[in-house]
Amino acid sequence: MKDIQSILVEATANALKKLYGLENQSLDFQETRKEFEGDLTLVVFPFVKAARKSPEQTAEELGKHLLDTVDEVTAYNVVKGFLNLSIADNYWLEAFYNAYSQEQYGIAPVDENSPEIMVEYSSPNTNKPLHLGHIRNNLLGWSVAQIIQATGKRVQKVQIINDRGIHICKSMLAWQKFGAGETPESTGMKGDALVGKYYVEFDKAYKKEIEQLIAEGKAKEDAEKEASMIVEAQEMLRAWEAGDPDVVNLWKTMNGWVYDGFNITYKELGVEFDKNYYESSTYLLGKAIVLEGLEKGVFYKKDDGSVWVDLTDDGLDEKILLRSDGTSVYMTQDIGTAVQRFKDFDINSLIYTVGNEQDYHFKVLFLILKKLGYEWADNLYHLSYGMVDLPTGKMKSREGTVVDADDLMQQMTDDAKTITEELGKLEGYSEEEKAELYKTIGLGALKYFILKVDARKRMVFNPAESIDFNGNTGPFIQYTHARIKSLFRKHGELDASFSYAGDIDERERELIKSIYKFPVVIKEAADNYGPSIIASYTYDLVKGYNTFYQNVPIFNAEDSNQMLFRLQLSKLVAEVIANSMRLLGIGVPERM
């Protein structure tokens, strides 16, 4: 069926041409504000000059013309320069059954001929477990990928694992010195947690050594450079880069422990990747590209042999790309990795999910790639997000004060268990079903609380607030879904051939209008890389349904046709809730 916006835009364009001789006007109908009567609103101020009438008179004239010529318009009213239009109930009923008949309403099937988009997220260091900040990163990246795919586009999900550098050498050195050969198997620890333990041990030993050197009369800056822990770690890094077999083997072993641990966390969190890139394989990429750019005059060489790019004319600064000894920097690596990805995949755009402390880095990267002549450089996007704090303050990896992702997910599951058992609605559940329910509720609370916040904003994650069964939370939405499902355990399956043709009341109409918006909301969320848009929509839909549920009788409806229609309406609401929450990576229980 034809979208009501399209119907009104076409009819209004014809009206403007006929009444005022206006053509090619930008027309945008907005949802009518709740305090006014109507469904859709048009601002008429842009047409007043051509109409040579007041805003009120112009709106009246347009409203009367649309009422007379558009079957779907049943009434209008004017508030200053705003024309509010009421849409016929039979249109909303037709829209409802059009949605009801679709297998996955709002979710477009993937078009194999569509442009392919790559989303990068996670990108952890291999010296510690994933933490709360990684959770926000992973949830954002994964959800954005799902939302874009729901518009019919092909999506590739990737990460680059930072598996080389001084940070991993610190963990390796500390394990050599203090580990006594322990392994994940011998300790029962997850591999990433074991390696992270030695990253913290390195920092403790390093600080202790610095304090000792200062006590012996060394300046703090000299002590930090001369402490044997950091000197040995730097020597280990040089040995790794030179291919020392003992160092490389230890590096492979400890990284293997970490990857096994990461995979457990990713599975628990519900995220996955189509391809992993490794910094150890990509850190040399880009050098040839930089040298080619040097030959073309895009970059320049300083007297010491280092290669730079001058971006001062673009409002940025000068950036080094190759050190004087010819070695690469992170920017060089990112240039090469970006080019490699466009070779590896048939993508035309790339989204980087990275914290906002890297905003400047990505401005420089995108500009360099554009200067190098890559046409796709205009299709690069930095999904910049704010950091996650706790009610107690910031997290610090080196000091071991981060909130481990595994611990947090387990805490959320345990909290869900406590609250659910207190509510006492678990009759008939097996122990296995209970455990799955606790996990679904706990992780749903965590994911929704993080994703409902605009990604650009810094946020405080409060576990107690997130798992509340009331308010704007995951459990509140999950409970509404379960409530709807209980209706069908009571009634049974619906007659697939039934179609309602009676009157609908205001609450039914509002629910249908809310459902009707779902595909548009998905597109808006995809265009803005905004899972929070989906979360906000879902919360509003659930609030609307709860108002309907509390005020409109279902099983005590006036007649069986009305009851069946309200059950159909409830069923579609549940499906939209499930689909929207799935885009956020959240499951919805059948019972709670």
The pTM (predicted TM-score) of the whole model is: 0.93
Task: Give me 375's structure tokens.
Answer: 């046409």
Contacting residues for 61 by C-beta, under 8 A, at least 6 apart:
19, 51, 53
How many Cα atoms sit within 13 Å of 564 on the Cβ side?
13
Task: Give me 442's structure tokens.
Answer: 């706990």
pLDDT at 400: 47
Cα–Cα dist 304/156, whole Å: 41
Please list the ranges in the chain whose pLDDT falls under 50.
395-400
Domain end among 63, 87, 111: 87
Same domain, 544 and 434: yes
In the block, residue with structure tokens 């994650």: 461
Long-range own/partner contacts, residues 414-419 (CB < 8 A, 24 or more apart)? 414/438, 414/442, 415/442, 415/445, 415/463, 415/464, 415/467, 416/441, 416/442, 416/445, 416/467, 416/475, 417/442, 419/467, 419/469, 419/475
Closest CA to 480 of 428, 540, 435, 429: 540
Beta bridge partners of 531: none
In a domain, 588, yes or no: no
Same domain, 82 and 169: no
Cα–Cα dist 271/387, whole Å: 20
CATH number of the domain within which 422 lies: 1.10.730.10
Same domain, 83 and 169: no
Domain range for residue 43?
A: 4-87
Task: Give me 546's structure tokens.
Answer: 């709860």
CATH number of the domain within which 82 lies: 3.30.1360.70
Sign, CA torsion 463/468/471/474: positive
In a domain, 192, yes or no: yes
Domain end among 258, 277, 296: 277
In a domain, 98, yes or no: no
Same domain, 180 and 271: yes
Same domain, 431 and 576: yes
Number of domains in the chain: 3
In a domain, 180, yes or no: yes
In a domain, 364, yes or no: no
pLDDT at 397: 44
Same domain, 176 and 80: no
Domain end among 233, 259, 277: 277
Same domain, 76 and 190: no
Fill in the amino acid letter for 565.
Answer: F
Helices (H) and strands (E) in the chain — how many of each? Answer: 23, 14
Query: Phi and psi for 418 in degrees, rounded to 5?
Result: -60, -50
In a domain, 160, yes or no: no
In a domain, 424, yes or no: yes
In a domain, 77, yes or no: yes
pLDDT at 399: 47
pLDDT at 393: 54
Same domain, 178 and 30: no
